[in-house]
Amino acid sequence: MTMEEEAPLHELRVEQPRMALNRAYTLFHSSLLLALLYHRATSLFFPSDEYPRLAVVLARATLFAAEVMGALLWVLAQGFRWRPVARTVFPDRLPPDNELPPIDVFICTADPEKEPPADVMNTVISAMSLDYPPEKLRVYLSDDAGSSLTQFALKEAFYFARSWLGYCNKNRVMTRAPEAYFSSCLHGDGELHGSALMEKEKMKLMYEDFKQRIKRAEVDYKLKDHKYSTKEHTSSIQLIHEEATDLTEEEKAKMPSLVYVAREKRRGIPHHFKAGALNVLLRVSGILSNAPYVLVLDCDMYCNGPNSARQAMCFHLDPKMSHNLAFVQFPQAMHNVSPSDIYDGSMKWTFELLWKGLDGVGGPILSGTCFYLKRKVVHDTKNIYNKGEFLSTACDMLQLRQRIGPSHPLMGAMKQSSTENSITDILSKGSVLIQEAHNVASCSYEKETQWGKEVGFLYDSVVEDYFTGFNLHCGGLQSAFCVPARTQFLGSAPINMTDCLLQSKRWSSGLLQVAFSRYCPLIYGTWKMSIPLRMCYAYTAFLPLSSLFLLCYALVSPLCFFNGISLFPKASTPWFLVFAGTYISCVAHSMCEKFSLGGSFGTWWSAERMWMMRSVSSYLLGLLSVTMKQIGKAEVDFELTNKVNDEEQAERYAMGIFDFQGGGVLLFPLITVALLNLACLIGGIGRMVIEASYDALLAQVFLGALAVVASYPIIEGVFVRKDRGKIPISEILKPLMLSVVIMSSGYLIFSL
């Protein structure tokens, strides 16, 4: 029996009746949108009311432009809903362990002050504990700070992992991150009794001792005023196995290899943020191990289950799809999301609904972490094939040197599927391979090569995952989305407003960098990608432009309402039903999707409110950041979110109270819009009552009230709260003055 005739390693099922309902809704809502835009266009060009003034015409034209933009974004979003699918994997049908391919694990950390070493080590330990042959698993930690504290913590993690791996295998532990395992509310591994319980308590004491050693080291470094630089340091590569002198070779063979990598960084030489760190890991691991598959994890995204590697291999080893499969994406889930989820940090809607839809039209977007990548596909990211072969295999050594640099071991590695150097092999070759690894980790190695341009993770955007995945799909490759019954990876969501908006600003900046470049998904690589997949990529890239759509409604509508000017059909006319029906259709569909994922009205409202807040704040600032870059005034920066646990912030988050500490410029547009809408609503209602213009202004009353309700956390933070999480007075004055200026200007303009 051939491999093609054997039982399949996975199965795909189209989700019905969801697909049919999605298409029916698309047809229904499209008719409403067309009717709305028809009325808006005819009333704009053939006005028949009492507002002929130029200012009013411009206000309506602005709203019309915003509605056209919103409609286009909605049309693009239907690509996610065109063909939702679900996959089932069968790991028990995989080849025996000795035939499984090696895997390199990449974990990236950048700053021990924002990413606590103890938390990073939990991710490292969980990756080392994957249910996969240990001799085929290599774990690389990239430390972009070059911190000796992180080096120390990694060595401690290796020593703790000696006992932890044996304990997990013996007791069939599912949660392989010790912090989560020893938190009884999280791991779900069942109750232990007798000697097993005693063994668990002993292991817990070992883990607490491990954490205390790291904490003492943190204190020592602070007391000694230990300095490290995230922007300038030499390269450092350590084989942690080599320093484990008390382990026998037999004991080492039972553990995955662990490697510390800090690339060289120098001021004035671009380091390209996470994409640069990943490319260094590709080169270093290419020399030391060169596994054909790579698992990429963020430092806070630990393995919640041990089976992801085998589940991913059900796709990569499937003969029906492995030839053009680039990566297998797992969903990102968060362990610290509160029931109210006030910051919409769970990401369930994205991964459990949108990414399932992507899987049916070509595969999910590369999502930064929790994915198993075929190494060869990033050897030539933009030009995948050359007469059916990967270019790294097809081109000669001279061409390869021009593409990836002068490292002969690296060129040799790219010419073969796997180097499979054991740790003993590396040490037996003396310092040759280690020295070569230092060479490819230098900040000057990429000069006059194609790294970041056509090789590896691409540099033209701070969202290197989206941009790289897009180019892989443009090259004719596909991806797969694996959603097992047990969540395989868990991370931490932002628990304060500042980090939430900062994260969204970074994403929106990177997406718009792609949208406004020659790689715009609407025009680039059209012949190898399905239309629905292209629509999904375009929607994701242009989503931050929803800030313009929402700002038009948040500014123009309240100003007109305050001045008694109607922008919508009268409530007594049939056309009012078109506008009301369009809004109700959107809300009802959004609710149905949220409820189908197990959400509640509260979590739905939190998601809607955060979409509005992100649009007004982080999406707008991301757009401004990219605009400044386009005119050469500034560079888009990779702003790291703080992952240090703050008990006071965590308490407020659990209670569903917003925390605005350190918001600064991120809060400026939010406060301005909130104060403006509140003042306009109060003044507009007074005017409407005096003039008895209920029929003409009903829609704007509703929109104003909706804006104020959505802005209530901001208004509360300005006027009511006294705790540390409130908005400080220093951040209120400028938005207050700007809102007064906008209202006054609007009054003068509409009075002319």
Sign of torsion, CA 738 740 744 747? Answer: positive
Burial class of residue 219 in the structure, from the number of CB atoms within 10 Å of its CB (0-12 exposed, 13-18 middle, 19+ buried): exposed
Buried b (16+ CB within 10 A) or exposed e, 108-124: bbbbbbebbbbbbbbbb
CA dihedral of residues 699, 702, 707, 708 (deg, nearest 10): 140
115 is in an annotated binding site: yes
Residue 325's SS3 state is: strand
Find out whether the peptide bond into 52 is cis, omega within 30 degrees of 0.
no
Tokens standing for residue 138: 């290599």
Query: What is the per-residue pLDDT for 193?
Result: 66
50 is in an annotated binding site: no
Relative to beta strand 478-481, strand 325-329 is parallel
Other C-beta atoms within 10 Å of 393: how many? Answer: 15
Residue 389's SS3 state is: strand
144 is in an annotated binding site: yes
β partners of residue 265: 233
Tokens standing for residue 304: 């919640």
Backbone angles phi, psi at 47, to 5 degrees: -65, 145
Rounded Cα distance between 494 and 500, Å, is: 5
Rounded Cα distance between 277 and 446, Å, is: 12
Contact criterion met (CB below 8 Å) for 726 and 659: no
Residue-wise pLDDT tens digits, 472-491: 999 999 999 999 999 999 99
Q: Residue 273 region, left (φ>0) first, then alpha (ψ -120 to 50), else beta? A: left
Rounded Cα distance between 351 and 342, Å, is: 18
Rounded Cα distance between 159 and 136, Å, is: 20
Backbone angles phi, psi at 86, to 5 degrees: -130, 145
Rounded Cα distance between 126 and 745, Å, is: 58
E strands of 15-129, at which residues? Answer: 85-89, 103-109
Residue 487's SS3 state is: coil
Rounded Cα distance between 55 and 750, Å, is: 6
Catalytic positions are: 144, 465
The average confidence (pLDDT) of the chain is 90
Q: Which residue has the tokens 């499209």?
A: 30
Other C-beta atoms within 10 Å of 528: how many? Answer: 13
Query: What is the per-residue pLDDT for 99?
Result: 95
Sign of torsion, CA 196 197 199 200? Answer: positive
CA dihedral of residues 569, 572, 575, 578 (deg, nearest 10): 100
Query: What is the per-residue pLDDT for 384?
Result: 58
- CA proximity to 126, closest of 182, 82, 63, 72: 182
Rounded Cα distance between 451 and 446, Å, is: 6
Question: Treating both helix axes as pointing N-terminal to C-terminal, what angle do 546-562 and 620-630 enclose, rounded to 10 degrees?
Answer: 120
Buried b (16+ CB within 10 A) or exposed e, 59-72: bbebbbebbebbbb
209 is in an annotated binding site: no
Residue-wise pLDDT tens digits, 590-623: 999 999 999 999 999 999 999 999 999 999 999 9
Relative to beta strand 325-329, strand 371-374 is antiparallel
Rounded Cα distance between 46 and 303, Å, is: 61
Query: What is the per-residue pLDDT for 187?
Result: 55
- CA proximity to 337, closest of 486, 475, 481, 492: 492
User: How distant is the alpha carbon of residue 357 from its chain centre?
Assistant: 17
β partners of residue 239: 259
DSSP labels, 124-189: HHHHHTSSS-GGGEEEEEEETT--HHHHHHHHHHHHHHHHHHHHHHHHT-S--SHHHHTSHHHH--
Cβ-based neighbours of 577, under 8 Å, separated by 6 or more:
none
Rounded Cα distance between 307 and 672, Å, is: 49
Rounded Cα distance between 111 and 145, Å, is: 6
Rounded Cα distance between 663 and 649, Å, is: 14
> What residues of the chain score a pLDDT lower than 50?
1, 4, 186, 386-388, 423-424, 430
Rounded Cα distance between 223 and 660, Å, is: 31
